[in-house]
Amino acid sequence: MGDTRGSVQVIDTHAHLDHERFRDDLDDVIARAKAAGVWPVIEVGSDLATSRAALGLVRRYPGLLAAVGIHPHEAKTASDAALETIRAMASEPGVVAIGEIGLDYHYDFSPRDQQRRAFAAQIAIAKEVGLPIVVHDREAHADTLAILKSEGAAAVGGVMHCFSGDWKLARSVLDMGFYISVGGTLTFPNATSLRDLVARLPLDRLLLETDCPYLTPVPHRGKRNEPAFVVLVAEELARIKGVNVHEVATETTRNASILFRMANLLRLNAHC
């Protein structure tokens, strides 16, 4: 327990490296991630432009992976043509998921009926192309769960990114075969209930993420988040679970490789 010698190999399953805050030093950010043992990174789109940018990053950084989709904030842009573009992008090399998709009733940047429609439509696309989904749910637990069920999302599986739900929601999505992803929030001093929840969740269903540039873990809060910092989340998860950080790394990497169907991931990771 507590042995942190040797390099840790983990995956950042949720990043937004296309964000303007990475514009000037992305090569350095990627180099720091790899040096910290964080690879691959999954770059997640939130509209057509950022999904397209994710495909560009796949070409620029070999091994980097992508999710394409329309975020609930942007659901008002999810026209039939836009959804058709997402469907087309989903079969591009390096795309491992549809996301991020879901519901956000905290900000309500798009009308709720449009959020629900875009969410359902993109679950249908995921089922059509055979990719898992990356789900954003903020203050919309009941509707998120209802849509996951009514649209048959269990057929493709997915991850509840930056999980903010309670035990009941966690239990329901785990029963559907979903994974639960935790990020920098796990290290926040006031996140006691999240830590208590995570302590009860099975390690074989957890993923690690940064959601960078947002949600920077302690002790870097106030600064920009970046993939290398996901190691701090792994360490916090290890502390909560009372296991070695290497066990957290191995388990969460295996989980990600199963969910995102990255057959070569474990091998790649062992050699990077």
**Which residues contact Ni ion (rule: CB under 5 A)?**
211
Contact in structure between 92 and 121 (CB atoms under 8 Å): no
Closer residue to Ni ion (CB): 110 or 245: 110
CB of 5 to Ni ion, least distance (A): 32
How would you label 115-124 residue by residue, b for 16+ Cβ within 10 Å and e otherwise?
bbbbbebbbb
Residue with tokens 């701090």: 232
CB of 211 to Ni ion, least distance (A): 5
Closer residue to Ni ion (CB): 160 or 238: 160
How would you label 158-187 residue by residue, b for 16+ Cβ within 10 Å and e otherwise?
bbbbbbbbeeebbebbeeeebbbbbbbbbb
Closer residue to Ni ion (CB): 151 or 211: 211
CB of 134 to Ni ion, least distance (A): 8
Closer residue to Ni ion (CB): 74 or 211: 211
Which residue number has the CB closest to Ni ion? 211
* Region for 145 from its dihedrals, namely left if φ exceeds 0, alpha if ψ lies in -120 to 50, beta otherwise: alpha
CB of 264 to Ni ion, least distance (A): 25
CA angle 4, 6, 11 (to 5 degrees): 85
CB of 246 to Ni ion, least distance (A): 27
Quote the CA–CA distance of 185 and 118 in Å, as a whole number.
27
> Nearest CA to 136 among 109, 172, 185, 102?
102
Closer residue to Ni ion (CB): 26 or 266: 26
